[in-house]
C-alpha cells in the first residue's frame, strides 16, 4: 500500500476544518448636523397624533 | 494621538484595538477620525499588518476627520434653552439650580420674554440658512410656573421657532396638554421611579409631598401624542428599579425616554451619585428589557441617551444630543437664557455666576456672550487637552461630559466628569449590538433618514 505524505499545510486542511471567519463590519453615515438636545431634553420632531 | 497626513496623501491607520467583550468580534478604532471597524478576533493582528480595511481607511479617513472637525468646531448656534422663571414647585435633591432661586426667584415678564424671543429670532435669522427654524425649548426651573407668558410666547412666535418644553409634569393639566399638542410642541416630563416610594426619594414638593401620581396623570394625558418623552435621572435611589421603570414607561406608551446619569454639578447631586459598575449593570438590564418588550410587542421604547451613543458611532453628525461630544454643544450649538435675561452656555451653568456671558438685550448681547471668557471656558474644553481623555480611544463617542460637572468636581475644566467608566461600558455595549446586527432595534425608526452612507463594509 502506498503511503501518502502530506505537507504540513495539507495536513492542516485535512485534519482541522477552518473555522468560519466573521465578516468585518465598518459603517459610517453622514448628514448636516443639527442636534441641539442635551441631557435635560431631547427634541422629538414627529408630528403630534392629535 | 495619530499624526495627520499632508494634504493629498493617504493617511496611515493608527488603529487602537479594543476588547468589547464580544465572543467573536473585537474593535479597531482610529480615535482622531472616529473611524472604527469590528473584526473577527482572530483577524486583528492580520488587519493591523495590512489588507482591505486599511484601504477603506485610507480612502475615507480624511473625510471622517474633516466631518468630525466641523461638528466639533464649526457649528453655529441653532437652539436656545429659555428659562421663563427661576421658580419651581419641586425641590429635587439633585437639581443643578440653586434652591434660593427655585423657591423664591422671579418670573420673566411677558414683555421681557417677547422682547427676548424677538432678539433671538433676529440673531438666528442672521446665522442660520434660509428656511431653517431654530429650536426654542422652555426649560427649568419649572416653566409652567409662568404658563401664561410661555403660552403667549409660543403663539406669538409660532412661525419663527420649533418649540419644546421640559417640565416636571405636575402642572401639565388638560388645558396645557391641549394647547401644547395642538401646536406640536415637543414635551418632556420627568419621573424617577416605577412607584411613588421610589420617585419620592428624589423628587418632592417643598413640603415633601409626593408628585408621582400627578406625573402619571400627565403621562396618561400625553398617551397617543408622538412628540413627548420622559426623563428618569439615575441615582442610588432608583438604580435597582430601572427595569421596572422601563416596564412602566412601555406600558404607558412612552415613545422615548432618557435614563440619565445624575449630573453631579452641585453638592446635593453627589449624595445620590451611583457607582459606575452598579450603574452599568442596572442600565444595561433596563436596555435589555426594552429589547425584549420590543420583540414581544413590536413597539419600541427608545432610550435616547444610549441611542445617541449608538448614533455617535455610526453617524457622528446625526447626534440628537450634544452632551457626548467634545467640546459639548454648550455655547456653540445652543445656549441658555436665564430668567433674569442673562446668557449662559447651558442651563447646567445657570447656578454658577462665573459662567454668565452677559445680558441678551444688551448691544450685541448674543455675539458678546459667545465671545465671552465665560463661554470660551466651556467651548474651549477639549478632550485632546487633558488626560486621561487625550489617550482614550472612545473620546469622540463620549466627549467626557459634562463640563459644568467636571468644573465643579475637579475645580477646573480639565479632567473627566463623574461617569467615565460608565461611558466606556456604554460604547462597548453599543459596539456589541452592532456586531450582533441589533443596533436598529435600539434606535428610532427612520433615524438615518436624510443621511448618506460614506462606506459600509458589509455591502
pLDDT tens, residue by residue, B251-269: 999 999 999 999 888 888 9
| Same-domain status, B105 and B240 | yes
| Same-domain status, B226 and B340 | no
**pLDDT number for residue B125:** 96
- Contact present, B316 and B68 (Cβ < 8 Å): yes
Is B143 a domain residue? yes
Residue range B205-232: average pLDDT? 96
Angle made by CA atoms B379, B380, B383, in degrees to the nearest 5: 105
d(CA B270, CA B265): 8
**DSSP characters over B355-370:** G---BTTSTTHHHHHH
Nearest neighbour of B225 by CB, restricted to A24, A41, A50: A50
Sign of CA dihedral B236, B239, B240, B244: positive
3-state secondary structure of B112: helix
A-chain CB neighbours of B132 within 8 Å are 34
E-strand spans in B194-294?
Answer: 228-234, 256-261
| Same-domain status, B48 and B143 | no
| Same-domain status, B65 and B116 | no
B-chain CB neighbours of A39 within 8 Å are 258, 260-261, 263, 305, 321, 323, 401-402
| Same-domain status, B99 and B35 | no
Residue range B359-381: average pLDDT? 97
Is B314 a domain residue? no
**pLDDT number for residue B411:** 86
ipTM of the complex: 0.89
CATH code where residue B105 lies: 3.20.20.70
d(CA B215, CA B235): 19
Residue B96 in grid coordinates: 443643578
A-chain CB neighbours of B38 within 8 Å are 24-26
| Same-domain status, B195 and B177 | yes
Nearest neighbour of B455 by CB, restricted to A19, A21, A26: A26
The answer to whether residue A1 scores a pLDDT higher than 60 is no
d(CA B347, CA B266): 13
Task: Answer with the one of B23, B53, B73 that is the final residue of a domain.
Answer: B73
Task: Answer with the one of B73, B106, B123 that is the final residue of a domain.
Answer: B73
| Same-domain status, B166 and B231 | yes
Give tens-digit pLDDT for B136-189: 999 989 999 999 999 999 999 999 999 999 999 999 999 999 999 999 999 999
What are the backbone angles phi and psi of residue B441, rounded to the nearest 5°?
-70, -15
Is B267 a domain residue? yes
Closest approach of A18 to chain B, Cα-based (Å): 12
Closest approach of A40 to chain B, Cα-based (Å): 8
Closest approach of B17 to chain A, Cα-based (Å): 14
Is B157 a domain residue? yes
Question: Is B322 in Cβ contact with A36 (below 8 Å)?
Answer: yes
- Contact present, B29 and B393 (Cβ < 8 Å): yes
- Contact present, B300 and B441 (Cβ < 8 Å): yes
Question: Is A34 in Cβ contact with B226 (below 8 Å)?
Answer: no
| Same-domain status, B68 and B122 | no
Closest approach of B109 to chain A, Cα-based (Å): 24
Question: Is A19 in Cβ contact with B321 (below 8 Å)?
Answer: no
| Same-domain status, B37 and B58 | yes
Q: Which residue of B has its CA nearest to A19?
A: B42
Q: What's the mean pLDDT when you consider all of chain B?
A: 94
Is B329 a domain residue? no
Nearest neighbour of B315 by CB, restricted to A22, A30, A43: A30
Q: For residue B220, what are the domain limits?
A: 79-274
| Same-domain status, B88 and B148 | yes
Question: Is A48 in Cβ contact with B315 (below 8 Å)?
Answer: no
A-chain CB neighbours of B39 within 8 Å are 22, 24
Give tens-digit pLDDT for B309-318: 999 999 999 9
| Same-domain status, B85 and B51 | no
Give tens-digit pLDDT for B1-56: 344 444 445 567 789 999 999 999 999 999 999 999 999 999 888 888 888 888 89
Question: Is A29 in Cβ contact with B452 (below 8 Å)?
Answer: yes
Give tens-digit pLDDT for B389-428: 999 999 999 999 999 999 998 888 988 888 999 999 999 9
B-chain CB neighbours of A38 within 8 Å are 81, 321-323, 328-330, 334, 346-348
Nearest neighbour of B226 by CB, restricted to A28, A29, A47: A47
Question: Is B81 in Cβ contact with A41 (below 8 Å)?
Answer: yes
The answer to whether residue B110 scores a pLDDT higher than 50 is yes
Task: Answer with the one of B73, B108, B125 that is the final residue of a domain.
Answer: B73
- pTM summary value: 0.92
Is B281 a domain residue? no
d(CA B431, CA B36): 10
Number of domains in chain B: 3
Closest approach of B55 to chain A, Cα-based (Å): 12
Residue B262 in grid coordinates: 445624575
Neighbour count for residue B69 (Cβ, 10 Å): 12
- Contact present, B397 and B309 (Cβ < 8 Å): yes
Give tens-digit pLDDT for B270-320: 999 999 999 999 999 999 999 999 999 999 999 999 999 999 999 999 999
Is B357 a domain residue? yes
Interface of A with B (CB under 8 A): 19, 21-50
Question: Is A39 in Cβ contact with B305 (below 8 Å)?
Answer: yes
| Same-domain status, B49 and B101 | no
**pLDDT number for residue A50:** 29
Nearest neighbour of B321 by CB, restricted to A21, A39, A46: A39
Q: Which of B24, B28, B186, B452 best probes binding to A when mutated, by most A CB atoms within 10 angstroms? A: B186
Is B137 a domain residue? yes
- A48 pLDDT band (50/70/90 cuts)? very low
**pLDDT number for residue B11:** 65
Amino acid at each position: 500500500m502506498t503511503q501518502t505524505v502530506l505537507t504540513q499545510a495539507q495536513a492542516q486542511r485535512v485534519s482541522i476544518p477552518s473555522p468560519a471567519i466573521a465578516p468585518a463590519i465598518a459603517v459610517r453615515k453622514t448628514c448636516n448636523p443639527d442636534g441641539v438636545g442635551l441631557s435635560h431634553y431631547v427634541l422629538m420632531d414627529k408630528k403630534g397624533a392629535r | 494621538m495619530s499624526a495627520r497626513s499632508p494634504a493629498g496623501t493617504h493617511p496611515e491607520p493608527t488603529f487602537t484595538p479594543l476588547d468589547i467583550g464580544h465572543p467573536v468580534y473585537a474593535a479597531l478604532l482610529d480615535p482622531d477620525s472616529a473611524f472604527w471597524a469590528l473584526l473577527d478576533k482572530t483577524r486583528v493582528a492580520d488587519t493591523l499588518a495590512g489588507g482591505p480595511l486599511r484601504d477603506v481607511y485610507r480612502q475615507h479617513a480624511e473625510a471622517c476627520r474633516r466631518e468630525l472637525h466641523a461638528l466639533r468646531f464649526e457649528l453655529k448656534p441653532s437652539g436656545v434653552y429659555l428659562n421663563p422663571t427661576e421658580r419651581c414647585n419641586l425641590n429635587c435633591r439633585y437639581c443643578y439650580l440653586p434652591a434660593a432661586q427655585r423657591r423664591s426667584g422671579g418670573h420673566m415678564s411677558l414683555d421681557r420674554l417677547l422682547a427676548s424671543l424677538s432678539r433671538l429670532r433676529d440673531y438666528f435669522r442672521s446665522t442660520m440658512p434660509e428656511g431653517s427654524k431654530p429650536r426654542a425649548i422652555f426649560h427649568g426651573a419649572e416653566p409652567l410656573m409662568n404658563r401664561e407668558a410661555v403660552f403667549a410666547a409660543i403663539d406669538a412666535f409660532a412661525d419663527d421657532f420649533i418649540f419644546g418644553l421640559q417640565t416636571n409634569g405636575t402642572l401639565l393639566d388638560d388645558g396645557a396638554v391641549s394647547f401644547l399638542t395642538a401646536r406640536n410642541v415637543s414635551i418632556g416630563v420627568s419621573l424617577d421611579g416605577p412607584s411613588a416610594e421610589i420617585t419620592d426619594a428624589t423628587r418632592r414638593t417643598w413640603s415633601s409631598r409626593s408628585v408621582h401620581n400627578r406625573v402619571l396623570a400627565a403621562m396618561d394625558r400625553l398617551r397617543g401624542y408622538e412628540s413627548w418623552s420622559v426623563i428618569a435621572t439615575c441615582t442610588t435611589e432608583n438604580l435597582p428599579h430601572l427595569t421596572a421603570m422601563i416596564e412602566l414607561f412601555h406600558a404607558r406608551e412612552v415613545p422615548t425616554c432618557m435614563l440619565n446619569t445624575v449630573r453631579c454639578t452641585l453638592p446635593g447631586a453627589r449624595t445620590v451619585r451611583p457607582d459606575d459598575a452598579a450603574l452599568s449593570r442596572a442600565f444595561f438590564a433596563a436596555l435589555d428589557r426594552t429589547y425584549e418588550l420590543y420583540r414581544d410587542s413590536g413597539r419600541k421604547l427608545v432610550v435616547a441617551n444610549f441611542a445617541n451613543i449608538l448614533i455617535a458611532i455610526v453617524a457622528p453628525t446625526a447626534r440628537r444630543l450634544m452632551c457626548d461630544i467634545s467640546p459639548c454643544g454648550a455655547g456653540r450649538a445652543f445656549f441658555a437664557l436665564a430668567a433674569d435675561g442673562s446668557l449662559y452656555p447651558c442651563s447646567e451653568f445657570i447656578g454658577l455666576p462665573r459662567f454668565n456671558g452677559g445680558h441678551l438685550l444688551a448691544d450685541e448681547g448674543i455675539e458678546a456672550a459667545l465671545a465671552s471668557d465665560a463661554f470660551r471656558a466651556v467651548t474651549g474644553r477639549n478632550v485632546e487637552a487633558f488626560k486621561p481623555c487625550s489617550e482614550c480611544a472612545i473620546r469622540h463617542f463620549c466627549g467626557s461630559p459634562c463640563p459644568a460637572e467636571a468644573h465643579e468636581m475637579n475645580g477646573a475644566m480639565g479632567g473627566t466628569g463623574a461617569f467615565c467608566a460608565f461611558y466606556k461600558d456604554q460604547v462597548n455595549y453599543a459596539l456589541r449590538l452592532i456586531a450582533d446586527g441589533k443596533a436598529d432595534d435600539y434606535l428610532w425608526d427612520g433615524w438615518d433618514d436624510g443621511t448618506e452612507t460614506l462606506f459600509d463594509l458589509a455591502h
